[in-house]
Amino acid sequence: MCEKKNKIRLVALIEEVEDKSLKKEYKIVNFLPDIKVEKIIENNVHLQDSDNKYRFKIVKKDMFQIPYTNEFKDLSVIVGENGSGKTTLINDIFTFGYRSLINFIFQKEDEILIYANYFFERNIVLEHSDEYEYIYLKLNTEKDLNIIKFSNAIEFYNINDSNSYYRINASKFNNLNDSIKLFDIKNKEDIRLWETINQVKFVHKFKDRISEFVDYTKKGVMVNFKGERLPFSSQHLDFISRVNNKFINERLVAYYSILINYMIDIDYTNPNPQKHENLLNFHLLMVKSPLKLKNSSKSEKQSKISLQYQSIGVDKDKFLPYEYSIGGLRHDVPNIELGDNNSNFWIEVWHSIYIINLYFEYIRFNKGENNKYKSSIEEIIKKLKLLIDRYKVLSSSTEINDKLSEYIENINIFYKKIDNNDFDEWKDFWETIKIPCIRVAKAISYTSYFELSGHGYFVKYKLIPRRVMTRLREFEVHNDINYLKKIRRLLSKLDEITMDFGILTSLIENISKLEHINLNQFLEVKWRGLSSGELALLKTFSNLYSAKIVLQRRKSSGVKVVNFLLLLDEVDLGLHPRWQRKWISTALPIIEKIFESNHLQIIITTHSPIFLSDIFEENIIFLPEESGAHNCRTFGQNIYSLFKNAFFLNEDEFIGEYAYQKIQDTIEYLRFKIDGELENLGDESLYSNLNEEDAKKTAKKIIDSIGEKIISNQLYELFDKAFPPVNTEIKDIENRIKELENRLRELRGGEN
């Protein structure tokens, strides 16, 4: 812990209230067993000084305390019924009494510091003492104290105050977004992602400590990339060069897909006119370049573009992202027939028109000067016309043939007008056809990062990572390249369910360092198989850890704050009783480790009697104070006594309300049977509308079901009085006699 000279402790709060007679009254809540604030009272009157200020004194108690951890002692646990003011008290401390007139009393060495969140004249005075020096100055919270609140309960008003330099509400992760420097949290998905990442980093740092509760490293984490533009897995993806020779790592495929899409977006959306020339060079190269297949003769050479068209037009191969696939084309042009037989035709038509449009844009910006592409474009137009004519002969669709004729006619007309710089009519035509053309062009750009080879009906893909990285360098992302390579290596090591938190943490850190490529937008990190209790526990620890880091970063340079006041509201909510039982012995050492050498004071609210059995009496604050429950000795106490004395349950409240009512109905019914007093049986009784036989069965069922032996034995005695046991043999004889008498009457009736 920190040195004594730096230690600050919250001693008490003094709240000014008014009683029914509108007379000022002061309510004190003390938080420490060894130093307390008390009223100065004579003859049951709260004394005032000459300035009419109410007098208080500091009382130092000589008390031996056993620490809850190696060094930690300053713990307060607030207990009380719902509505008694536990959460309100926590919020008053967190906000320093924004809602009311509250004075806060702190101890710092031999000084008493008084803080009030209002500016009018103070109405209290502390009596001077030889032991303490009183300083009536506002506590310098920026230099002296950090306050962190964490609540598992649902609150209906906002007290985040997360912009304060000295306090933060860590109940929700979005209040901690200052800890994330490089990324803005814009939506719920981002919050969930970075909350999980925050938890992963915490587990990596504190895994040895927290394993006493849960070994989160055995739970594992799933890491994937998400997004509409990522490809499906393909049977025809051969391998990823220099990454893994044994199997395809689909996570890496998705990773490279993101990088490729990043470059395509820049290529096709860049407003610079130069893009038309760059794209024109690329697409003309794709059209002209042959593909040399291994072990193939010269006659078997196949053009690269034909495989590109085939890869886009294959319906069953789902490797391409939807945006670039045949499925996307169907979405854009639903009226055009796209199938196994004619997909390649349409793709080639749209690609050719896209190249022609690039040429027209190039001419428009360059005013026809240095027209080095003219011969190439003429060749493409000629080839396009032959392609369309051939298809029209084979096609039976008049509508499609008419559309194709319109295409080639418009292209020829506009091509001839180029020299006159007449582009307006072409722009109108281009607007009607551009969507599938652009889609095909982007698809070809995407597949250009793969080595393609024919494989029967399908196309095989082999990613070329070197080409991806080389191309990225052209986009001025030099600082990102090394991080991207590290990310690739780390991804290749990840299993489907990640258990290596060192690799995972390194991966996250490298992704966080990227400046240009927003890889985090596609990242998906999910815990595998965490229960709600396990997640609640992890959120508590990780949020406290992050809040500490946030507050330390906010402090002015040169100011070292070593005092933390933690306000934990119902921190045990949702935990299994076994974990509630271990919280003090296991969670407190973890929290102490989180805050390292800093001084801690912790104030906790709880409803758990199991939790309370670990707390010394002097560390408990009972609300309301007038309940008298403070006389309860809690440490090592049994649960029944804690419920009765500390949680204000009446004698009739130690079983469920339904069970209590049915047992009471049974007692009343049995007494009615014994005494014959009908007024004892109410109209709402379980037995009011039952016949005697059903009522007897109901009473027997309820008594047999009672778990508490004392209660069940007492009811068995009442039942035997209401329904005295009968000798079985006598009962059987009586029943036999009745049967014979009935039979005799039947026979005599037959004689008549």
* DSSP symbols for 270-315: ---THHHHHHHHHHHHHHH-EE--TT--GGG-EEHHHHHHHHHH-S
Q: What average pLDDT score do residues 348-376 get?
A: 84
Name 308's Cβ contacts closer than 8 Å, sequence gap at least 6: 286, 443, 444, 447, 448, 452
The alpha-helical segments, DSSP class H, found in 333-423 are 343-366, 374-394, 398-417
pLDDT grade for 296, boundaries at 50, 70 and 90: very low
pLDDT band of residue 297 (cuts 50, 70, 90) is very low
Please give the backbone phi and psi of residue 22, each rounded to the nearest 5 degrees, phi first. 65, 20
Question: In Å, how far are 160, 206, 546 from 165, measured between CA atoms?
Answer: 12, 26, 15
Whether residue 292 is predicted with pLDDT greater than 60 in this model: the reply is: no
Q: State the pLDDT confidence band at 189, using cuts at 50, 70 and 90.
A: low
Asked if 90 contacts 605 with a C-beta cutoff of 8 angstroms, the reply is yes
How many CA atoms within 13 Å lie on the side-chain side of 684? 3
Give which of 475, 737, 558 is closest to 142, Cα–Cα.
Answer: 558
CA distances from 138 to 96, 135, 159 (A): 12, 9, 22
Strands 599-606 and 620-623: unpaired
Q: In angstroms, rounded to a whole number, what is the distance separating the alpha carbons of residues 579 and 588? A: 13
Give every CB contact of residue 250 below 8 A, 6+ residues apart in sequence.
Answer: 233
Q: State the Cα–Cα distance between residues 259 and 230, nearest whole angstrom.
A: 10
String of DSSP letters for 207-227: HHHHTTT--HHHH-EEEEE--
Rounded Cα distance between 608 and 660, Å, is 22
Q: Predicted confidence band at 302 (pLDDT cuts at 50, 70, 90)?
A: low
pLDDT-derived band at 299, boundaries 50, 70, 90:
very low
Neighbours of 619 (CB within 10 A): 21
| β partners of residue 722 | none
**Which pLDDT does position 345 carry in this prediction?**
85
Question: Which two structure tokens, joined as six digits, stand for 480?
Answer: 């990102």
pLDDT at 150: 92
Banded model confidence at residue 117, pLDDT cuts 50, 70, 90: low
Between the alpha carbon of residue 112 and those of residues 57, 133, 134, 284, the distances in Å are 11, 6, 5, 82
Q: Which residues contact 663 (CB under 8 A, 6 or more apart)?
A: 655, 702, 706, 711, 715
| Cα dihedral 630, 633, 637, 641 sign | negative
**Quick one: average pLDDT of 170-183?**
66
Q: How far apart are CA 622 and CA 639, in angstroms?
A: 17
Alpha-carbon dihedral sign for residues 444, 450, 455, 457: negative
Q: What percent of the chain has pLDDT over 90?
A: 14
Which pair of tokens denotes residue 670? 């049995």
Q: 3-state class of 606 per DSSP?
A: strand
Look at strands 102-108 and 8-18 and give their pairing: antiparallel
Burial degree of 303 (CB within 10 A; 0-12, 13-18, 19+): middle
pLDDT at 298: 43
- The confidence score (pLDDT) of residue 156 equals 55
pLDDT(279) > 90: yes
- pLDDT per residue over 57-92, tens digit each? 888 888 888 888 888 889 999 988 777 788 889 988
Contact 328, 353 (CB under 8 A): no
Whether pLDDT at 346 is above 60 = yes
CA distance 249 to 251: 5
**pLDDT at 300 (0 to 100):** 40
* pTM exceeds cut of 0.85: no
Residue 481, phi then psi, degrees to nearest 5? -60, -50
Distance CA 440, CA 444 (A): 6
Q: How would you write 308-335 as a 3-class SS string?
A: HHHHHHCCCCCCCCHHHCHHHHHHHCCC
The pLDDT tens digits for 555-599 are 655 556 689 999 999 888 878 888 888 888 888 999 999 998 788
Q: Are 523 and 200 in contact (CB under 8 A)?
A: no
